[in-house]
Structure 1
């Protein structure tokens, strides 16, 4: 009997235990069915400024859903915000913009969802639904390398930038290229070299010449959604850094001229310049001289006959270049005979002054070596522009335009000025004379003078000539002029060459039988004296 009672007692205990287990299982099942599901924020997420809160539940008649948080490792007991129901038995609660500005930048937080119903029952999301997120309000640090703001580029270029984010790391970097109107022309995903630099190559020939903006879009979110097709970027955070560049794949225009074609010893002026409509010119080089964007003007003193060429190279700011070739011909002076008189074609030297004002006299130089003139200082009474001074050197042969020549002539010159008219108030001309010529004349440097030809009186007039200086080979003199004409450098007191009538002096008396009249007058006087003397002698004889 005792054993039978013990068996019945054991059965009762088993039934009680089994029933308890069923009740506990039912309670667990119900609680599990009520557990909220935290959809957003998601675990291991990176957020800044705000986030989207989504919590779903199956609990009956939920009143509200609260987003609760705390620092990593601590209980999620602080409520960040609460969403209330808008209908009975609402299964989902959502807020698209939960403010995160009160949370610490760079910190990690645990988030969970708390659901409360009308009966006062609370339901929490379990640990499997707890989201650990990082708050990141600091944008990536972006620094351009290589191409800089304001650069001029051509061909294929490499865009490079350093992108660093110490909190969340860098998710993606894009280069966005727009034109001056803001229209997007290129959207390129940059690749990283593993050291924090993001690079991409752009072929600028795919673009028209002009100004473009390049924007770096750097994203630090691990939850970024990118729509690359249309260049739209959705992310929790990105940073933009923009530079402006000018694309120019067209070569500049080079211009090179050399004038005039002249004779040996004269000066040729070569002008090298360039233009570029997009990038502008920043370099010119004519084979001898280099300069910036202002061009080059070079004076070349010729030393040999022949045809010569020079090359001018022009480069724009983008690196495009172009060249132009200029040629000039140099000949030897030509001699000939006219009317039995030997004439020599003069060597010509032309120098131009852009502007001369009354307050700023201009000294013109760079005349041909050996021309006899080294410089001319011009003073004007009113402003003159593009004044062109020409010096012609006839050497020792008088030009045909003058009617007489001087003995001891060193050089005959003709000096003329265009675009000066009656504006000249004074010119100071500096001449040079070879020392060997002076010594060859058996004279000294103080006896050298410049003579000017008076075309009205047809005569040479000696000018006040002042010794200025000397070097190893030349004496230098200055002469003040009020006008230009023909000149001759000679010794002081030079006379008209033998066989030439002194022009502008009194005419000589007529001659007969090859003798001048004064000779015949002298002969007549002698004859008269003889006759008178003879008459006197005859008278004395008769008296005797």
Structure 2
């Protein structure tokens, strides 16, 4: 009987132990986390800044106390057991480029655990490289054709699903966009053909990678142009021995006369004869290679002086030059003057951009009618410099002028005795300007002076100091009125002496 009781007790004990173990293993079992995904990255598996969140969902058979994240970079363990007791996720930051793999392990209080399979994320912070290379037109170029060829070099350090986008636009919008994979050779090109001509196009190329890094080349403009320039000529100034013509039509131009020189859009020819007509044909080539010529156009120099005061009246010689725009930081030069104007060149500097600027230089044989005071002393030449649309935008103008060596010598002057005088209309006087002797050229001495505004000027002998006022001289004269004033002074002195002598003789008698 006792044996039966012991056996039954043992059986019950074994059964209880079995039940306890069964319950333990049932309770200890745990499912692995599910829905292992990333957040805050740029694409599903690529990131360009190294900051992202690893999220997961607890297994169906829960009870996890904590979750551990095992992270390796390119196969090497990087972070071990980065724990988190929440299922909301784990934030990870590291901008070292590489292929990161993640395993999340759930563990409960009974030390039962289960893990996810590997999930990977690529960190790529390198921007693709792309730049124009051989064959690509320069910016603002043009050509007479209907196609545009663009060639680039392109590389990407982490070349995974990287691609290039070639984009072409005109004023109406997108003309074409073509996508290519990054080339293994390092170069990729495209040739857009059959395009509309006489149209300006813009193009660029964008390099992209899987982590949304991108690089865009500078946008360039290219014009398809098959229209030849329309060239015409107009006279802007003339003298007895010179002509100056304005050329419209643009491009690089040449003239059919060997004596003519062209600077920008201005044609100048010196050494001509007075009262003669000269015919010009100017040919211009635009930036697209199109060529156009003007018709044969004739222009006349001014009339010859009669010499008896009753002949042909000729306008004063002048030179006019225009610029569509003058910008700060660059010197704009007006040159190719007829020597009779007395100016060699004018260098213009501005402090702000000026549009549609015109400078006019006029030579006068004597005192200009608009000037109220004759310059005293020996005057080589009067002249006027006028400006349009420049005003207070003028920073300074450096004027190089000339005076004839024979005139200087015949007036018993030295090359260093010459200065430029500016007429001050408000004060009614001539003011001497600081003038530098800059050497000589042929039959002339050259001088340089800086101006901050324009007016009437006189090239004259230097004064003795101070400003000059009053009607005291004429061009090229030696101060005759000044001499007459001194003569009267000596007459008065002699008269006083004679009266004194007469009075003394009379008193002795």
TM-score range, shorter chain: 0.3 to 0.5
Query: Which has more radius of gyration?
Result: 1
TM-score, normalised to structure 2, is 0.43
The two structures have a TM-score, normalised by structure 1, of 0.41
